[in-house]
């Protein structure tokens, strides 16, 4: 009878949840997840959902922030709710504003400020203990980042004791996963050991996106010795050698022709077998040593040393001729017919249009034809010519050493002072190698963009004058080879105090950074400033932040915080053209950041609620891009300086206990994240080496790759050892990464977008939002007196395939620019039938997908 | 004990599974004997020669019109010029022992698939033949006139013949020698062939750029025509170089030189198309 009542209530609640929760009886204090739910979800909370999507692609916009906070329902829940198939960036911030620490050492990539979550993928059991804070929460390890901070506790004594086996099956980026973990807990002798090893796998037939695969081993080992009451030492090492094939974004036309929202142009057939052209190999073995010194009951000192040797390699099919990629714009039907209805520009080539359409129906046409590429190269071997197609590998390796120490003094109850230091040295090695000549004999290390203006063997066209007209074979370095050195020192402090109804904190940091480049090739266009060391650039930065929480009683609280920061530019934006020379960007400055946040919180027996408003203003920001620029028929390197942006919005998180077994979670955010002024650009052409000034009309361009509006309603039901979750999400205002090139003043003039002194700036491309429903069901069993948890996650239940996760506008033009024949100086623009502006490349959500997860502890 | 064995097996299994998926790929089998370009199922029927074609369609060629070939005719020929050097655009030149002709194909990088010396078997039926500036050309219809054929059409009509295969036997001892340019020869006798000009002077001698795009030389269709005189050049002969050619930036010689190229004709003027930098013998 009791059970029937609960089921009836469950049904009613699903039907009228928004109306019913306020009338349900209060049962107990609502604080944390129930044991069953925690056990079932802990292994597969936001981490598992997102681990194969987070930060794995250096060149994509999926740099999601994995945020959490136990004191804020919104922060606590969004990782779970908005990661199943979507990319969601907290406050639409770049991942670089989210600071990640391990035992107090910051481990963000020093060159771009980002943290690659995939480097801790597959070691879920080792990274479960963590301290997450929002942007305006004080903590004992950092001056928290704009996007919050996380400190993973990797001490062996804090890991769960016993054995645990996890087996998973999914139809996502990987198909199978197995993890084994073992921990001793802290022995009487003061020793603790923890180890975990995992493997994630999918091949090209089983991965959700055709033509990709996933092959990742992961391990983590930690040993801790508690020497006495005051001292303990911990040594941890981990890594996850991973090999995986990546997928590319596509235009809607390509997806339509392929009848697949996940159409992936990066693979093809070779000898009848599937082959990926873009394969990432990544291995970042890390070692962390930590000394905990408990000086007395009030004082402690945590000191850590971190060492990492990162090897990252990603391959790409390249060419010296016509683009062999199947989604090359000239292969589309719309290359021959203006499908956008501008009759004036119509240049309908009916035969070519239909031939192209028919071709696209054949999978061998819409994927890479490796056999043909091999054949071309073997033909060229006959005449002793360079390979025309090849697979090259870009390497971004790092040798990183970081020391940190933090001292905490609780000098009276409720009053705490911490001070810390971070020292960092990083050498980033960036070079390109010839991965596969695809049957060709060799290739010359020549800037082919310059051949014509200079002869093939001219000094100017050589990428490395020191080696002359150099033949490149597989394994050789070519095109560029340089190191970026980055050295940082950072001091920070935080003072917090509880007084009456207040909790106040003030935190500050000051830092110094120096960086330089060392080139190992003497570029023919920059013979005097490409080989050897550059000058050193020095920056000083710092920040101040304070916040307060007022406890108004009866579970009501108000929070507020303000901050001001100077952020030194990272090496990734500091060099004008690091692949070619040593020059720094001109007019490089610290980014200035103003932050503010106010919040209201309720916490009582049946409701936890957080309502937060925030405002971030940044100026003097720096950005850097490289791409092929149609208007100059060359590759270009573009530095944007003096970038001004605003991020602001409201966030709501509420967890309502309806009954003791049932609660409802409501989340919502509406935000804005945009440039608030046009930006000055300095760009350089790869064929002239000259610097040019421009203005990019990027005012009002929005942050991309995330919904700027999202809402969620979820129900969690616990019954005995069962757990059920049903969540409905809505996403909207999803923008695609805007093209700077399309909004340069000269280019807009070329495009006929300049009238009577006014620029007609193109609207930023948008993606589709929509509803998505996810569910999770789990149960805990006892097998041989040990707990076995079974959990099935079902994502995108309605199989919505047309929701855009991200993408970008193409940096190509709707016209070609050529010298006006016989004019010498004037240029002529000629409209193209193909409309790049109407053809942004997009990523879409996976359709219905699942993960079945089994955990057995013994 | 069982637990330990299980764990050891699990860990060992994990390591064993992690073999590389992106293996070392070798050259695919059979791409030499069964090229993944063109139509390998073509088998020659009634063959014809370039001279016979030019003779049969001489009216269309001389009128700058075109005819669709309706007979089931087959042509064996050898590639003598292509876009490898960037000077010839979406065309190849082919020769047999009787003459040379231009084939227009709407595709780039064809020189990589059909390098100089490649034997071709072409099914001519349904292709078009005619003239452009009185130059004989095989192609397709574009805007009501003779233009390039679509690449997919070409691939259906051509077979790349590899030595040692049955189809190579039909080529016998076909030779496509370079001939000395002779200004007095007719289009049919000389055009489409690789020719040698000896002791000739090129206008603009001594300037630094063969095909500049800075307005210093008049261009037609992005090409600089520099008059060739002296030697065996005759009176109406130009060196035609595209501003997209890989060798457009070379300096012109001050002294008389030898050079090679594909001879084409445009309304009575011989246009010599160098194929690569090595055709211009003064460039070291």
Q: Which residue has the higher pLDDT, A201 or A7?
A: A201
Can you give the pLDDT at residue A119?
87
Average pLDDT (A499-506) is 93
Neighbours of A588 (CB within 10 A): 18
When pLDDT is cut at 50, 70 and 90, the band that residue A32 belongs to is: very low
Tell me if chain B has a CB within 8 Å of the CB of A275. Answer: yes
Task: Give the Å distances, CA to CA, from B77 to A346, A522, B120, B121.
Answer: 39, 46, 5, 7
Can you give the pLDDT at residue A272?
92
Closest CA relative to residue A663, chosen from A12, A21, A68, A3: A21
How far apart are alpha carbons A144 and A563 in whole angstroms?
Answer: 11
Structural domain count of chain A: 1
Residues 6 or more apart from A149 whose CB is under 8 A from it? A98, A99, A100, A101, A132, A133, A139, A141, A142
How far apart are alpha carbons B127 and B75 in whole angstroms?
Answer: 12
Tell me if chain A has a CB within 8 Å of the CB of B247. Answer: yes
Can you give the pLDDT at residue A344?
53
How far apart are alpha carbons A91 and A147 in whole angstroms?
Answer: 7
Tell me if chain B has a CB within 8 Å of the CB of A456. Answer: yes
- Tokens, residue B106: 């709407």
DSSP assignment of A383-425 equals TTPPPSEEEEEEEEEEEEEEEEEEEEEEEETTEEEEEEEEEEE
Closest CA relative to residue A93, chosen from A701, A740, A672: A672
- Domain residue spans in chain B? 46-169, 179-279
Highest mean pLDDT, choosing among A7-16, A42-51, A597-606, B163-172: A597-606
DSSP alpha helix (H) spans, A453-512: none
Residues in A closer than 8 angstroms to B214, CB to CB, are 819, 824-825
Residues 6 or more apart from A388 whose CB is under 8 A from it? A319, A320, A321, A376, A377, A380, A440, B109, B112
Which residue ranges in chain B fall short of pLDDT 50? none
Tell me if chain A has a CB within 8 Å of the CB of B212. Answer: no
Residues in B closer than 8 angstroms to A858, CB to CB, are 3
* Model confidence, pTM: 0.90
For the stretch A224-240, what's the b/e string if a residue is b when 16 or more beta carbons lie within 10 angstroms of its beta carbon?
A: bbbeeeeebebebbbbb
How far apart are alpha carbons B274 and B241 in whole angstroms?
Answer: 7
Helix, strand, coil percentages for chain B (3-state, nearest 5): 20, 35, 45
Neighbours of B283 (CB within 10 A): 16
Q: Per CATH, is B46-169 categorized as 2.60.40?
A: no
How far apart are alpha carbons B78 and B118 in whole angstroms?
Answer: 6
Residue given tokens 């008049």 in the structure block:
B218
How far apart are alpha carbons A90 and A79 in whole angstroms?
Answer: 9
Predicted confidence (pLDDT) at residue A55 exceeds the cutoff of 60: no
**What is the length of chain B?**
284
DSSP alpha helix (H) spans, A478-537: none
How far apart are alpha carbons A139 and A76 in whole angstroms?
Answer: 17
Per-residue pLDDT tens digits for A676-719: 999 999 999 988 889 999 999 999 999 998 999 999 999 999 98
- Percentage of chain A lying above the pLDDT 70 cut: 90
How far apart are alpha carbons A276 and A265 in whole angstroms?
Answer: 9
Contact A163 B214 (CB under 8 A): no
Can you give the pLDDT at residue B5?
63
Average pLDDT (A362-388) is 95
Tell me if chain A has a CB within 8 Å of the CB of B277. Answer: yes
Question: Which among A180, A321, A452 has CB closest to B109?
Answer: A321
Tell me if chain A has a CB within 8 Å of the CB of B154. Answer: no
- Quickly count helices (H) and strands (E) in chain B: 7, 18
Q: What is the 3-state secondary structure (H, E, C) of A623-672?
A: EEEEEEEHHHCEEEEEEEEEEEEEEEEEEEEEEEECCCCEEEEEEEEEEE
Would you call B54 helix, strand, or coil by DSSP? Answer: helix
How far apart are alpha carbons A806 and A644 in whole angstroms?
Answer: 23
Output the CA torsion A295→A298→A301→A302 (10° steps): 120
Closest CA relative to residue A242, chosen from A266, A219, A262, A270: A219
Predicted confidence (pLDDT) at residue A58 exceeds the cutoff of 70: no
Through-space distance between the first and last CA atoms of chain A, rounded to whole angstroms: 35
Residues 6 or more apart from A742 whose CB is under 8 A from it? A748, A751, A762, A809, A811, A813, A837
| pLDDT, averaged across chain A | 88
Predicted confidence (pLDDT) at residue A12 exceeds the cutoff of 60: no
How far apart are alpha carbons A566 and A506 in whole angstroms?
Answer: 17
| A342 burial via Cβ count (<10 Å: 0-12, 13-18, 19+) | exposed
Residue A331 lies in a domain: no
Question: Which among A197, A270, A822 has CB closest to B215?
Answer: A822
Residue A367 lies in a domain: no
The answer to whether A595 and A135 are in contact (CB under 8 A) is yes
Tell me if chain A has a CB within 8 Å of the CB of B11. Answer: yes
Can you give the pLDDT at residue A127?
92
Average pLDDT (A37-41) is 47
Q: B151 - beta bridge partners? A: none
Task: Give the Å distances, CA to CA, from B225 to A422, B23, B218, B273.
Answer: 67, 51, 8, 10
Helix (H) or strand (E) holding A106: strand A105-106
Closest CA relative to residue A461, chosen from A451, A473, A472: A451
Is ipTM > 0.90 here? yes
Can you give the pLDDT at residue A36?
45
When pLDDT is cut at 50, 70 and 90, the band that residue A819 belongs to is: low
Nearest CA in chain B to A438: B27
Predicted confidence (pLDDT) at residue A254 exceeds the cutoff of 90: yes
Question: Which among B152, B244, B250 has CB closest to A359?
Answer: B152
Residue given tokens 């002793």 in the structure block:
A384
Residue A347 lies in a domain: no
Per-residue pLDDT tens digits for A168-178: 999 988 999 99
Tell me if chain B has a CB within 8 Å of the CB of A663. Answer: no
The answer to whether B67 and B128 are in contact (CB under 8 A) is yes
Residues 6 or more apart from B269 whose CB is under 8 A from it? B236, B237, B238
Contact B29 A271 (CB under 8 A): yes
The answer to whether A482 and A521 are in contact (CB under 8 A) is yes
Residue A342 lies in a domain: no
Q: Which residue has the higher pLDDT, A145 or A630?
A: A145
When pLDDT is cut at 50, 70 and 90, the band that residue A68 belongs to is: low
The CATH number assigned to the domain holding A43 equals 2.40.170.20
B 14-43 residues with CB < 8 A to A: 14-15, 17-18, 20-22, 25, 27-29, 31-32, 35-37
Nearest CA in chain B to A278: B22
Closest CA relative to residue B102, chosen from B65, B72, B129: B129
Contact A823 B215 (CB under 8 A): yes
How far apart are alpha carbons A37 and A715 in whole angstroms?
Answer: 12
- Percentage of chain A lying above the pLDDT 90 cut: 75
Can you give the pLDDT at residue B178?
92
- For residue A705, the number of C-alpha atoms closer than 13 Å in the C-beta half-sphere is 23
A 793-852 residues with CB < 8 A to B: 818-819, 821-825
When pLDDT is cut at 50, 70 and 90, the band that residue A47 belongs to is: very low
How far apart are alpha carbons A395 and A117 in whole angstroms?
Answer: 19
The answer to whether B34 and A215 are in contact (CB under 8 A) is no
* Range of the structural domain that residue A508 is part of: 2-324+385-857
Neighbours of A21 (CB within 10 A): 21
Can you give the pLDDT at residue A48?
33
Average pLDDT (A573-581) is 96
Per-residue pLDDT tens digits for A228-238: 999 999 999 99
Question: Which among B22, B36, B250 has CB closest to A371?
Answer: B36
Residues in B closer than 8 angstroms to A454, CB to CB, are 249
Average pLDDT (A472-497) is 97
How far apart are alpha carbons A112 and A575 in whole angstroms?
Answer: 12
**What is the length of chain A?**
858
How far apart are alpha carbons A599 and A547 in whole angstroms?
Answer: 11
- Tokens, residue B30: 């059979």
Predicted confidence (pLDDT) at residue A278 exceeds the cutoff of 80: yes
């Amino acid at each position: 009878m009791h059970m029937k009542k609960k089921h009836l209530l469950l049904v009613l609640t699903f039907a009228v949840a928004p109306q019913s929760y306020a009338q349900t009886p209060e049962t107990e204090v609502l604080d944390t997840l129930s044991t069953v739910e925690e056990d079932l979800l802990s292994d597969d909370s936001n981490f598992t959902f997102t681990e194969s999507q987070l930060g794995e692609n250096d060149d994509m916009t999926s740099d999601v922030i994995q945020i959490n906070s136990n004191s804020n329902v919104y922060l606590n829940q969004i990782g779970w709710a908005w990661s199943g198939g979507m990319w969601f960036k907290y406050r639409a911030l770049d991942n670089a504003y989210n600071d990640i620490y391990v035992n107090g050492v910051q481990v963000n990539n020093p060159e771009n400020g980002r943290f690659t979550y995939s480097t801790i993928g597959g070691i879920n059991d080792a990274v479960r203990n963590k301290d997450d804070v929002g942007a305006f929460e004080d903590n004992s390890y950092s001056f928290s980042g704009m996007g919050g901070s996380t400190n993973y506790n990797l001490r062996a004594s804090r890991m769960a004791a016993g054995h645990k086996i996890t087996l998973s099956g999914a139809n996502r980026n990987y198909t199978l996963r197995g993890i084994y973990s073992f921990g001793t807990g802290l022995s009487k002798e003061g020793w603790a050991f923890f180890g975990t090893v995992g493997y994630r796998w999918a091949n090209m037939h089983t991965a959700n996106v055709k033509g990709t695969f996933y092959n990742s081993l992961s391990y983590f080992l930690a040993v801790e010795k508690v020497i006495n009451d005051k001292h303990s030492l911990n040594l941890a090492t981990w890594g996850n050698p991973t090999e995986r094939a990546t997928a590319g974004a596509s235009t809607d036309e390509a997806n339509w022709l392929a009848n697949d929202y996940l159409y992936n142009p990066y693979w093809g057939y070779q000898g009848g077998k599937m082959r990926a052209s873009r394969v990432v190999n990544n291995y970042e073995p890390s070692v962390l040593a930590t000394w905990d010194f408990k000086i007395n009951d009030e004082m402690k000192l945590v000191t850590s040393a971190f060492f990492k040797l990162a090897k990252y390699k990603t391959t790409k099919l390249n060419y010296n001729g016509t683009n062999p990629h199947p989604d090359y714009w000239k292969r589309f039907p719309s290359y021959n017919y203006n499908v956008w209805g501008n009759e004036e520009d119509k240049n309908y080539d009916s035969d070519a249009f239909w031939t192209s359409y028919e071709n696209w129906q054949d999978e061998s046409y819409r994927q890479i034809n490796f056999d043909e590429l091999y054949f071309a190269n073997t033909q060229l071997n006959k005449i002793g010519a360079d390979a025309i197609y090849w697979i090259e590998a870009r390497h971004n390796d790092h040798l990183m050493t970081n020391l940190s120490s933090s001292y905490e003094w609780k000098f009276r109850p409720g009053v705490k002072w911490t001070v810390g230091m971070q020292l960092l040295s990083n050498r980033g090695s960036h070079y390109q190698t010839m991965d596969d000549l695809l049957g060709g004999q060799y290739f010359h290390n020549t800037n082919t963009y310059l051949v014509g203006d200079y002869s093939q063997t001219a000094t100017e066209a050589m990428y490395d004058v020191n080696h002359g007209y150099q033949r490149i074979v597989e394994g050789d370095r070519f095109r560029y080879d340089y190191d970026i050195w980055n050295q940082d020192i950072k001091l920070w402090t935080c003072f917090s105090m509880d007084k009456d109804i207040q909790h106040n904190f003030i935190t500050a940091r000051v830092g110094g950074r120096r960086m330089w480049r060392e080139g190992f090739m003497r570029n023919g266009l920059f013979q005097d400033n490409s080989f050897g060391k550059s000058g050193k650039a020095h920056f000083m930065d710092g920040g101040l932040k304070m916040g307060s929480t007022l406890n108004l009683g009866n579970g009501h609280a108000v929070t507020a915080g303000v901050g001001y920061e100077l952020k030194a530019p990272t090496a990734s934006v500091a060099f004008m053209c690091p692949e070619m020379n040593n020059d720094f960007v001109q007019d490089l400055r610290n980014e200035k950041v103003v932050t503010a946040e106010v919040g209201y919180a309720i916490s009582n027996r049946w409701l936890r609620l957080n309502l937060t408003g925030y405002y971030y203003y940044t100026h003097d920001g720096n950005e850097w891009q490289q791409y092929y620029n149609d208007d100059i028929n060359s590759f270009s390197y573009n530095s944007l300086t003096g970038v001004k942006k605003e991020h602001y919005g409201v966030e709501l998180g509420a967890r309502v206990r309806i009954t003791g077994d049932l609660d409802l979670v409501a989340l919502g955010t509406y935000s804005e994240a945009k440039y608030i002024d046009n930006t000055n650009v300095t760009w350089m052409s790869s064929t002239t080496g000259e610097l040019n000034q421009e203005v990019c009309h990027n005012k009002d361009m929005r942050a991309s790759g995330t919904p700027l509006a999202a809402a969620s309603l979820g129900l969690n039901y616990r019954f005995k050892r069962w757990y059920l979750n049903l969540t409905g999400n809505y996403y909207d205002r999803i923008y695609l990464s805007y093209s700077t090139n399309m909004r340069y003043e000269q280019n807009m003039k070329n495009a006929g977008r300049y009238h009577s002194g006014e620029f007609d700036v193109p609207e930023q491309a948008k993606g589709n939002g929509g509803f998505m429903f996810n569910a999770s069901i789990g149960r805990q069993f006892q097998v041989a007196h040990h707990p076995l948890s079974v959990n099935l996650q079902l994502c995108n239940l309605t199989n919505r395939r047309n929701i855009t996760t991200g993408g970008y506008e193409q940096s190509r033009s709707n016209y070609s620019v050529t010298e006006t024949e016989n004019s010498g100086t004037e240029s002529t623009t000629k409209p193209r039938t193909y409309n790049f502006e109407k053809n942004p490349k997009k990523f879409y959500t996976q359709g219905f997908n699942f993960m079945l997860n089994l955990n057995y502890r013994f | 004990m069982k637990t330990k064995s299980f764990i050891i097996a699990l860990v060992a299994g994990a390591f064993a599974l992690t073999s590389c998926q992106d293996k070392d790929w070798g050259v695919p089998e059979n791409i030499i004997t069964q090229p993944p370009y063109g139509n390998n199922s073509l088998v020659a029927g009634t063959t014809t020669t370039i001279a016979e074609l030019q003779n049969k369609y001489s009216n269309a060629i001389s009128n700058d019109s075109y005819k669709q070939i309706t007979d089931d005719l087959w042509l064996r020929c050898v590639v003598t010029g292509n876009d490898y050097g960037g000077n010839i655009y979406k065309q190849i030149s082919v020769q047999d022992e009787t003459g040379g002709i231009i084939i227009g194909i709407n595709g780039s990088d064809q020189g990589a698939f059909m390098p100089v010396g490649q034997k071709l078997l072409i099914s001519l039926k349904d292709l078009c033949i005619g003239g452009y500036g009185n130059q004989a050309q095989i192609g397709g219809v574009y805007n009501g006139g003779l233009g390039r054929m679509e690449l997919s059409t070409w691939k259906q009509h051509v077979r790349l013949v590899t030595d040692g295969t049955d189809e190579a036997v039909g080529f016998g001892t076909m030779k496509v020698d370079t001939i000395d340019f002779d200004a007095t020869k007719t289009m049919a006798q000389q055009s489409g062939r690789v020719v040698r000009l000896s002791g000739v002077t090129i206008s603009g001698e001594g300037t630094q750029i063969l095909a500049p795009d800075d307005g210093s030389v008049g261009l037609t269709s992005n090409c600089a025509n520099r008059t060739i005189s002296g030697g065996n050049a005759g009176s109406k002969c130009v060196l035609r170089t595209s501003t997209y050619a890989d060798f457009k930036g070379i300096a012109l010689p001050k002294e008389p030189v030898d050079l090679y190229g594909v001879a084409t004709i445009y309304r009575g003027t011989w246009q010599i198309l160098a194929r690569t930098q090595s055709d211009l013998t003064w460039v070291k």
